Amino acid sequence: MRGIKLVTVGSAGKSAGCSPTGIVGRCLVRELVESGERVRVVAEADQLGDWPAAVEVVEGSIARCEGISGAFDGVDGIFLAGAQAATAGRVLEAARGAGVERIVLLSSHGAEHEAAYPPETWFWLAIERAVESAGMAWTHIRPSAVMGAVLEGTYPATGSDWAESIAAENTVREAFLEMGHYPFIHERDLAAVAATALCRDGYEGMLLEAVGFPLSTRSRLRDIADVLGRDITAVELTPAESRAAWRARGWPEDGIDVTLFALEEYGVHFDELTRWTAGQRPTVPDLIGRPMHTYRDWVAEHAALFGSVPDRARHHRA
Helix/strand/coil (H, E, C) string of the chain?
CCCEEEEEECCCCCCCCCCCHHHHHHHHHHHHHHCCCCEEEEECHHHCCCCCCCCEEEECECCCCECCCCCCCCEEEEEECCCCCCCHHHHHHHHHHCCCCEEEEECCCHHHHHCCCCHHHCCHHHHHHHHHCCCCEEEEEEECEECCHHHHCCCCCCCCCHHHHHHHHCEEEEECCCCCEEEEECHHHHHHHHHHHHHCCCCCCEEEEECCCEEEHHHHHHHHHHHHCCCCEEEEECHHHHHHHHHHCCCCHHHHHHHHHHHHHHHHCHHHHHHHHHCCCCCHHHHHCCCCCCHHHHHHHCHHHHCCCCCCCCCCCC
Return the exposure string of 59-73: e unless at least 16 CB atoms fall within 10 Å of the residue's CB, then b: ebbbbebebbeebbe
pTM of this structure: 0.95
Query: What φ, ψ does residue 186 adopt, rounded to 5°?
Result: -70, 140
**Averaged confidence pLDDT in the chain:** 94
Please check the confidence at residue 148 and state whether its pLDDT lies above 50. Answer: yes
Contact predicate 108/24, CB 8 Å: no
Per-residue confidence (pLDDT) for residue 312, from 0 to 100: 44
**pLDDT (average), residues 218-240:** 96
Task: Decide: 293 and 188 in contact? Cβ < 8 Å.
Answer: yes
Distances (CA, A) of 280 to 144, 207, 208, 212, 233: 13, 11, 9, 11, 36
- Say whether pLDDT at 45 is over 50: yes
With 50 as the cut, is the pLDDT of residue 10 above it? Answer: yes
| Confidence band, pLDDT 50/70/90 cuts, at residue 69 | confident
Judged against a pLDDT cut of 90, whether residue 317 lies above it is answered with no
Q: What pLDDT is stored for residue 310 in this prediction? A: 45
In tens, the pLDDT along 255-288 reads 999 999 999 999 999 999 999 999 999 999 999 9
**Range 159-188 average pLDDT:** 96
What is the rounded CA–CA span in Å between residue 50 and residue 34? Answer: 16
Rounded CA separation 252/247 (Å): 7
For residue 200, which phi and psi values (nearest 5 degrees)?
A: -120, 145
pLDDT band at residue 2 under the 50/70/90 scheme: confident
86 with 124: CB under 8 angstroms?
Answer: no
